Chain A
Amino acid sequence: MSRPHPPKLPLRFFRWFCHRELRDSIEGDLMELYGERARELGKRKADWKFTKDVLLLFRPGIIKQMEGYQPVNNTAMYKSYFKIGWRNLVRKKGYSLINIGGLALGMAVALLNGLWIWDEFSHDKYFTNYDRIAQVAETGIDPIEGGRSIGLTMTYPLSTELMENYNQNFKRIARLSWEVDGILSNGEKMMSVKGFYSDETMPEMLTFKMIKGTRAGLKNMSSILISESIAQSIFGTDDPINQTLRINNKSDVIVTGVYEDFPSNTEFHGMRFFAPWSLFLSENKWIEESAATDWRNHFIQIYVEIDHGTSFEEVNAKVKSALKFDPSDQERASKENKELYLYPMSRWHLYPPSYQINNYNPIAMIGLVGTIGAFVLFLACINFMNLSTARSENRAKEVGIRKTIGSVRSQLINQFYTESFLVVLFAFILGLFLASFFLPWFNIIADKNVVMPWKNVWFWLSGFSFILITSVLAGSYPALYLSSFHPIKALKGSIHLGKSASRPRQVLVVFQFSISIMLIIGTAVIYQQIQFAKNRPVGYNRDGLIMIYKRSADLDGKYEVLRNELLNTGVVTEVSESMGAVTEVYSGNNGWDWEGRNPNIDENFATLAVSHTHGKTAGWQFIEGRDFDLSISSDSSGLIINESAAKVIGLPNPIGEPVSWEWWSDKSLVMNYKILGVIKDMVMDSPYEPIKPTMFFLKGLNGSTNWINVKINPHSSVSEALPKIEAVFKNIAPSFPFEFKFVDEEYATKFAKEERIANLISLFAILAIFISSIGLLGLSSFVAEQRTKEIGIRKILGASIQGLWKMLSKDFVLLVFISCLLAVPASYFIMSEWLQNFEYRTEISLWVFFVTGIGAIIITLLTVSVQALKAAYMNPVKSLRSE
């Protein structure tokens, strides 16, 4: 009878793990037991018990030790790797500093950039229903820009349609008013804040984090939900629930809940109150009177939440037909292919509907930041690799001796890997410190609110995998190549790595400097462009000009009194009213006609109502004609146009010419004007765009003035004038919050975004060139050290200091020169592309390239010369004796 065999797999496993000395006897025991059990209990039970026994044998006393070593030696060897690695670091302090410092800088930059990108992607994730919320939008082919545009303000009947006939497709629908600047007051306490009127479903949809009260707080018409920060500043420590608030001095509401303020990386950041929709309707009677069925009047926002398990595409297809058009718009709508579109929350921040207009494309920005971060990190890694490979040539002898004494190759490999691991680890720790130290500062530059994710598992995992990858990458050359040396050859010194060994290093240096130079040229061009736009003639005087938005009705009918009072203070030279701020083009319209107009083109003009004195207040510069005059009554139908408008109109002598304006939706509304004057173009919109042809009039068809502008007397100081101006306002309209903006500050914000990008990139450019330079410093010192003997002999034979200096610097300068040749055309190409984004743009001047190139070479010379001269000045006796 054949003896039963125990299962193969456990047996093989046992043989694999078991200690060699124990293996045979234990296996014998197992076999004996197995045989007995198989006889008594049957094969299946015996197999099972055998497996169990094997598994229970898998324990420390029985598992074999690492092959070939005594158990004690093992830890000692690892200890020695670290000890020797540490000693090598300490012995070459300068080299270690360059290596660790450079790498840490690179890591810190990469870390900050990574955090930035992470923050961009986590936008709006604060909302629990992130994946299921969309804003109802209208897309269509943009007739001017091309491509599809997204419109976010919707008509009232669309919301009614969606809520009544398409309700079953959504979990929730909520209407939202436009962003309201509201004044909330409680007795003496008063605050001006932004918020919305919304349907009662909104708090549930956006999963408000309620601190007090419930999300169901908007059911009643006289209720309000306020944010924690408002509750704090109005009610302090008192319980805000059931307290009364007055909105815009009109409606009294009762606080029914307090929610946590939305964090800065959300779409609704800064929205501090939500008032009921019914209140919105009752405050704005016109909605129900005329807008409720008007398919042309876009003024509300609609948000929807879809059910679990449905997709936006599905729902979108189902509700598409809800969008209807006014018969008069039908033709244009079908021409522009207008459609209803559910604009998912996940796209709000990264794919904003209007990035073409303000030149800000978040995805491109993420790409830019990511690329720069990766490059800077890569530059630092190049340093690290170059320095460790360069230096490792010096260690050929060490390898020889270690091998002679009895090192196994794998031990040498471990030794080199440990050293590079140590450096990377230190660099990582230092990089973490640097990053967290500079984070607040970075947040200011980048306008972010990022925190270090100390508690995030992924953060640490990626950090450690990065440590491993870098140390393996940088440590591989010495570890794998040097450890293969034949000990006798290595000790005899007959191993020559030759020129070809330094070739990859040279390529990497060229790469490093090309990137750095490109970054610097890029920064220079961006700054140039910003400066160019800043130097653009503004066309009005921003000094001492402040503007106040009339956010409530308190000032209605009091303008004349206000103006007189302000002028009486003596600190004010002029006061005016305007439609829209001085720094914006508030309104634009078609329908203009004049003599000799091309009947086929209906030009669009900026149409802005102003008061008589606006020209004086803002400092209009007249080219022809005159300003509005209070004493001439016919001036009420006067028109002041800007240069661009004059060009569009194209009359050789525009002064006194009649111009008419017909309202687009009601042909019976016509205004007839006479041109009074032509003023210089003014930069009111984007400073990078061409100036819009503009019409200024006292009375138009498109509404009235909503800003008050005050020109402070240039002879009185602002700090002296402001309290007096405020006092006048307080006196005339006590409940009006006196909030003003300086026109020059407001104007400066037009450059903020580009400046922010420029500051960020310049920072990275400086870091990149710094990292590259310290890498070069390390390399040059290494080369000088290697050639000590050669230099000594040359000196004895009569070489001059200059000659030696030239010899040592030449190679590096050549490398940087090559980098310049590569970087200049590349950056020229990239930056010309970038400048295409701006209508009003600078030319890339050649001197940028010259200065950058020469600057790079000078920096190289300085870095390299330190080492070259040190080597050249060395006493040859000493250098020849040294071994």
Chain B
Amino acid sequence: MRKYQLGEFEEVVMLTVGVLYDEAYGVSIKKEIEDRLERGVSVGALQTALKRLEEKGYLRSREGEATEERAGRPKKFFQITALGKRALEYNKTMREELWNAIPKIALDGKFLGK
């Protein structure tokens, strides 16, 4: 079994939470992902991912202010936990190791072929 369970979309969400730092809540995360990655994100998918990440202990949340445009509902801000940071780092190193392990010729050859 893998050491840290982190899916592709979950990783994107976590990284975005990191990018937004103190301003990461539902709508802002959704917009950030949509802007940067140019892909549609449904509220449902995002919220499930956030809930799952929180259950795994990679994110923690706190309640924020309630504004008029939110019809008096509080914002829920997310932050990466230490465990979450480790999981991200693990994923990153794993990926780098894999990148480094590719012989140069494989990639070059491919580009040449194109």
**Taking the nearest CB of chain A, how far is it from the CB of B17, in angstroms?**
14
Q: Are A53 and B27 in contact (CB under 8 A)?
A: no
Q: Are A29 and B69 in contact (CB under 8 A)?
A: no
| Residue picked from A25, A52, A55, most chain B C-beta under 10 Å | A25
In the complex where A28-B70, A35-B69, A62-B47 touch, is A56 in contact with B75 (Cβ < 8 A)?
Answer: no
In the complex where A28-B74, A29-B27, A62-B47 touch, is A56 in contact with B69 (Cβ < 8 A)?
Answer: no
Question: At the interface, yes or no: A58 with Cβ under 8 Å from chain B?
Answer: yes
Interface residues on A, range: 20 to 34
In the complex, which residues of chain B have a beta carbon less than 8 angstroms from the beta carbon of A60? Answer: 48
| A25-B65 Cα distance, complex, nearest whole Å | 10
Question: At the interface, yes or no: A32 with Cβ under 8 Å from chain B?
Answer: yes
In the complex where A33-B27, A61-B51 touch, is A28 in contact with B44 (Cβ < 8 A)?
Answer: no
Q: Are B70 and A57 in contact (CB under 8 A)?
A: no
| A60-B70 Cα distance, complex, nearest whole Å | 25
Q: Are A25 and B43 in contact (CB under 8 A)?
A: no
Question: At the interface, yes or no: B26 with Cβ under 8 Å from chain A?
Answer: yes
| A3-B70 Cα distance, complex, nearest whole Å | 11
Q: Are A62 and B44 in contact (CB under 8 A)?
A: yes
In the complex, which residues of chain A have a beta carbon less than 8 angstroms from the beta carbon of B76? Answer: 25, 28
The chain B residues found within 8 Å of chain A, CB to CB, are 25-27, 30, 42-45, 47-48, 51-52, 63, 66, 69-71, 73-76
Q: Are A30 and B43 in contact (CB under 8 A)?
A: yes
In the complex where A29-B25, A61-B48 touch, is A53 in contact with B73 (Cβ < 8 A)?
Answer: no
Q: Are A56 and B71 in contact (CB under 8 A)?
A: no
A28 to B, closest residue via Cβ? B73
In the complex where A25-B26, A25-B75, A62-B48 touch, is A32 in contact with B43 (Cβ < 8 A)?
Answer: no
Q: Are A28 and B48 in contact (CB under 8 A)?
A: no
A18 to B, closest residue via Cβ? B47
Question: At the interface, yes or no: A26 with Cβ under 8 Å from chain B?
Answer: yes
In the complex, which residues of chain A have a beta carbon less than 8 angstroms from the beta carbon of B25? Answer: 25, 29
In the complex, which residues of chain A have a beta carbon less than 8 angstroms from the beta carbon of B63? Answer: 25
| A25-B67 Cα distance, complex, nearest whole Å | 12
8 contacts between A and B (CB under 8 A): A27-B71, A27-B73, A28-B66, A29-B25, A56-B43, A57-B47, A59-B44, A62-B47
**Taking the nearest CB of chain B, how far is it from the CB of A45, in angstroms?**
14
Question: At the interface, yes or no: A24 with Cβ under 8 Å from chain B?
Answer: yes
User: Interface SS of chain A: helix, strand, loop or mixed?
Assistant: helix
Question: At the interface, yes or no: A31 with Cβ under 8 Å from chain B?
Answer: yes
A56 to B, closest residue via Cβ? B44
In the complex where A31-B70, A31-B73 touch, is A22 in contact with B47 (Cβ < 8 A)?
Answer: yes
In the complex, which residues of chain A have a beta carbon less than 8 angstroms from the beta carbon of B26? Answer: 25-26, 28-29, 32
In the complex, which residues of chain B have a beta carbon less than 8 angstroms from the beta carbon of A59? Answer: 44, 48
A30 to B, closest residue via Cβ? B43
| A51-B47 Cα distance, complex, nearest whole Å | 16
| A25-B63 Cα distance, complex, nearest whole Å | 8
Chain A window 12-41, contacts with chain B (Cβ cutoff 8 Å), 1 for yes, 0 for no: 000000000010111111111101000000
| A31-B27 Cα distance, complex, nearest whole Å | 10
B42 to A, closest residue via Cβ? A56
Q: Are B51 and A62 in contact (CB under 8 A)?
A: yes
**Taking the nearest CB of chain A, how far is it from the CB of B35, in angstroms?**
14
In the complex, which residues of chain A have a beta carbon less than 8 angstroms from the beta carbon of B75? Answer: 25, 28
Partner of B47, one of A32, A35, A61: A61
**Taking the nearest CB of chain B, how far is it from the CB of A286, in angstroms?**
87
**Taking the nearest CB of chain A, how far is it from the CB of B53, in angstroms?**
11
| A731-B30 Cα distance, complex, nearest whole Å | 103
In the complex, which residues of chain A have a beta carbon less than 8 angstroms from the beta carbon of B42? Answer: 52-53, 56
Leading 8 A-B pairs by shortest Cβ distance: A28-B73, A29-B26, A25-B76, A56-B44, A28-B70, A61-B48, A57-B44, A56-B42
**Taking the nearest CB of chain B, how far is it from the CB of A623, in angstroms?**
101
**Taking the nearest CB of chain B, how far is it from the CB of A711, in angstroms?**
93
List 19 extra interface pairs beyond A28-B74, A35-B69, CB under 8 A. A22-B47, A25-B25, A25-B63, A28-B70, A28-B73, A29-B26, A29-B47, A31-B69, A31-B73, A32-B26, A32-B69, A33-B43, A53-B42, A53-B44, A56-B42, A56-B43, A57-B47, A59-B48, A61-B52
In the complex, which residues of chain A have a beta carbon less than 8 angstroms from the beta carbon of B66? Answer: 28
In the complex, which residues of chain B have a beta carbon less than 8 angstroms from the beta carbon of A30? Answer: 43
In the complex, which residues of chain B have a beta carbon less than 8 angstroms from the beta carbon of A24? Answer: 73-74
| A60-B76 Cα distance, complex, nearest whole Å | 20
Q: Are B71 and A26 in contact (CB under 8 A)?
A: no
| Residue picked from A22, A26, A55, A58, most chain B C-beta under 10 Å | A26
A50 to B, closest residue via Cβ? B43
**Taking the nearest CB of chain A, how far is it from the CB of B67, in angstroms?**
8
B76 to A, closest residue via Cβ? A25
In the complex, which residues of chain B have a beta carbon less than 8 angstroms from the beta carbon of A53? Answer: 42-44
| A59-B69 Cα distance, complex, nearest whole Å | 26
| A32-B63 Cα distance, complex, nearest whole Å | 16
Partner of B45, one of A33, A56, A58: A56
**Taking the nearest CB of chain A, how far is it from the CB of B70, in angstroms?**
4
In the complex, which residues of chain B have a beta carbon less than 8 angstroms from the beta carbon of A58? Answer: 44
| A58-B43 Cα distance, complex, nearest whole Å | 10
